[in-house]
Amino acid sequence: MVAIKKKSLGRGLEALLGAKTQATSSSAEINRLPLTALQAGKYQPRQKMEAGALQELAESIREQGVMQPLLVRLVALGKYEIIAGERRFRAATIAGLKEVPVLVSGADDQAAAAMVLVENMQREDLNPLEESQGLARLIEEFGCTHEQAAKAVGKSRSAITNLLRLAQLAKPVQSMLLAGDIDMGHARALLPLPGASQVALAQRISAQGLSVREAERITAALVIAGGQIRDQKVKNKSGPATPSSDPDMQRLTQEIADLIGLSTEFKLKGKGGELRIRFSQFDELDSLLKKLGIGFA
């Protein structure tokens, strides 16, 4: 007899589901079901599965069979929804198997959704955007707090907050994160920018292989520039300052100029300063505003 490992459900599930957790995982009887009787779980957070990894798993299954049973629940006459084990299901299909071992759970909709979300989010190879979307569903659909969600998936509360903020990214940037063109650090660096600027900088990060630190520097400069453009009524009260001789600042100045296509200059004074952007005609200004996601009223 094989029992479902408690770890696969996450300690925090008791806080979300109470006694339901025991009821949904108590069955230890292994059955065999045809693949045609199984269907993917509707709460599956994983949007893509690596074809190469699935092929490797399929080869292993051809040699050794499915070593760990899938966790499923009955949803209609002769039809079962997968709660845990969709990768094994897909690999078994590739391997040409007709049936697989399963454990049938009596989980209701709420319990099944929480179980599949937690089981997938505990995997190290889940994309940050998939984690973010899974957490959002866990919080919105079950009304749990960030603290409860953090306990359920074994992460810190700050990590949960950072993941949820990824929903603020522009859709094209989310697609790049999902595809692996940028990573979590890059994505977080882009969050202070408006949508159009997020997309422009994300594309540059991908094309030029910029580091997270470089992305953070460019973002900081663009935020300053955007603030100066928006606040046209603020008078310049700072006196003249000498240009920075810091090599990092010089490099940043050039990077910003390359990104926006206009000449730039830093003027530093004390702990603050200015970022000056020069344009020779209003078409250049209009182009810059569009890159920053700013439009005239």
The residues carrying an active-site annotation are 86
**Are 221 and 275 in contact, with CB atoms under 8 Å apart?**
yes
Q: Are 88 and 57 in contact (CB under 8 A)?
A: yes
Contacts of 219 (CB under 8 A, 6+ apart): 189, 190, 192, 193, 201
Phi, psi (degrees; rounded to nearest 5) at 232:
-80, -15
Q: Under the phi-then-psi rule, with left for phi > 0, alpha for psi from -120 to 50, and beta for the rest, what region is 143? A: left
Measure CA 284 to chain center: 35
For residue 178, with 0-12 CB atoms within 10 Å meaning exposed, 13-18 middle and 19 or more buried, which class applies? middle
Task: List the end-to-end C-alpha distance of the chain, in Å, as a whole number.
Answer: 69
**Which residues on neighbouring strands pair with residue 73, listed in sequence order?**
81, 105
How many angstroms separate the CA atoms of 16 and 110, rounded?
A: 10
d(CA 53, CA 57): 6
Query: Which candidate, 292, 287, 277, places its Cα nearest to that of 199?
Result: 292
